[in-house]
Amino acid sequence: MYGDGTRCVHGGETEPASGEPFMPGPVFAAPYHLGGSDRLGDSDFYGRSGNPTWRALETAIGDLDGGQCLLLPSGMAAIGTLLRAVLHAGDVLVLPTDGYYATREFVRIELSELHLEVREVPTAGPFPDGVFDGARLVLLETPSNPGLDVCDIAALAERAHAAGALVAVDNTTATPLGQRPLELGADAVLASDTKALCGHSDLLLGHVSVRDEDLARRLVRVRTLSGAIPAPFETWLAHRSMATLDLRLARQAENAAALAEALSGHRAVSGVRWPGMPSDPAHEVAGRQMRRWGGVLRFELRDAEAVRRLVSRSRLVSGATSFGGVHSTVDRRAQWGDPVPEGFVRFSAGCEDTEDLVADVLAALD
Ligand SMILES: *Cc1c(COP(=O)(O)O)cnc(C)c1O
């Protein structure tokens, strides 16, 4: 088995051919030629059902996830597609209280007609006895966004399976290089590839990977019938971006480690959390199930004004939501209604030089 960098560069590639590019260009087609006039065999016939540019990236990501990958136009499309494929009216759904806010909104507003019983549990637990009883689906998010709490995927999957539930993991903050939930027992892994996988803050994309053939077929059906399909050019850009994922994550994690350390001792900063830090409450569990650390950390400043000052005085860090890009960014999560203090910062470490970034942030805080 090749290492992460090799798999990122070569994943989903076609056989080398003289005079052809390393990566074939995006295939733009609404309909495809049918040859004669009737459809023959399994070839593509209409762009909503299949596209070779999707399949190349699905091969690459599926190889990293260890499952069959289904590409979707955004992380929310991945979540929506999975929930629509799995849930029936009256089902029990277990969600994190502290995960990505739009997931809870989607369930509360868009799935209200299913009259689900939603049980919300914090990512750090505890998961009370019986919480999975009668559940159809347990959705975990680890490390959670924005709090970076961690749960034990293998232990929870075992408990959920014993209760007859399926387990899905939102793997956005970890990426397929940081964590392989299918290998830890999850039935589905999904992610917003808008974040680190694409990594240049310029496109939206998502995916779901599964091992069960029947679940894969149901997911494809929801994608095809709902029309929530990725565009070929975005898909091609994502595949191009993925080649450097290993390199970008390495620098981002190095920067996050240096910042977590520098900020932990700073008098204007409290509550620094980064799962890679040995003193972090999530470090032990994360270390058991994660393959590498990510570039996102969190901390608190006194108030909203202090966060605004940090961003305006910094020369390298911008205020922006989202995370995982090559630029370092700060997001004050309370502005979006996350249940966190006013001065709570989710910091996405970019690919700047570590020395430059740490010096810039410390200067902006002083
Ligand atoms: C951003 C995010 C999503 C949604 O992804 P989009 O690509 O913005 O639709 C879902 N889950 C997590 C954990 C996220 O951070």
pLDDT of 39 > 90? The answer is no
Could you tell me if 169 and 140 are in contact, meaning their C-beta atoms sit under 8 angstroms apart?
A: yes
- Half-sphere CA count of 30, side-chain side, radius 13 A: 0
pLDDT tens-digit map of 112-138: 999 999 999 999 999 999 999 999 999
pLDDT tens-digit map of 45-93: 999 999 999 999 999 999 999 999 999 999 999 999 999 999 999 999 9
Q: Which ligand 1 atom sits nearest the alpha carbon of residue 195?
A: 1
Give residues (CB < 6 A) around ligand 1: 74-76, 100, 141, 145, 170, 172, 192, 194-195, 204, 206
Distance from residue 285's CA to the centre of ligand 1 (Å):
23
Distance from residue 74's CA to the centre of ligand 1 (Å):
7
Distance from residue 210's CA to the centre of ligand 1 (Å):
18
pLDDT band at 22 (very low <50, low <70, confident <90, very high): very high
**Per-position DSSP letters for 99-144, written without gaps between them:** S-HHHHHIIIIITGGG--EEEEE-TT----TTTTTTEEEEEEESS-
**Per-residue pLDDT at 36:** 79
Could you tell me if 79 and 170 are in contact, meaning their C-beta atoms sit under 8 angstroms apart?
A: yes
Backbone angles phi and psi of 219, in degrees to 5: -65, -45
Query: Which residue puts its alpha carbon closest to atom 5 of ligand 1?
Result: 75
Q: Domains of the chain (ranges plus CATH)?
A: 4-242 (3.40.640.10), 245-365 (3.90.1150.10)
Q: Which ligand 1 atom sits nearest the alpha carbon of residue 99?
A: 13
Distance from residue 49's CA to the centre of ligand 1 (Å):
24
The gap from C-alpha 263 to its chain's centroid, in whole angstroms, comes to 26
Q: List, in order, residues 6 or more apart from 147 with CB less than 8 Å away.
A: 98, 123, 273, 298, 340
Q: Say if pTM beats, i.e. exceeds, 0.95.
A: yes
Distance from residue 192's CA to the centre of ligand 1 (Å):
5
Distance from residue 193's CA to the centre of ligand 1 (Å):
8
Quote the percentage of the chain above a pLDDT of 90.
Answer: 96
**Per-residue pLDDT at 43:** 82
Ligand 1, residues 104, 192, 203, 204: which to mutate, most atoms within 8 A of Cβ?
192
Could you tell me if 81 and 208 are in contact, meaning their C-beta atoms sit under 8 angstroms apart?
A: yes
pLDDT of 10 > 80? The answer is yes
Query: Which residue puts its alpha carbon closest to atom 4 of ligand 1?
Result: 75
Distance from residue 34's CA to the centre of ligand 1 (Å):
37
Query: Which residue puts its alpha carbon closest to atom 8 of ligand 1?
Result: 75
Give the residue from 151, 121, 132 showing the smallest Cα distance to 92. Answer: 132
71 three-state secondary structure = strand
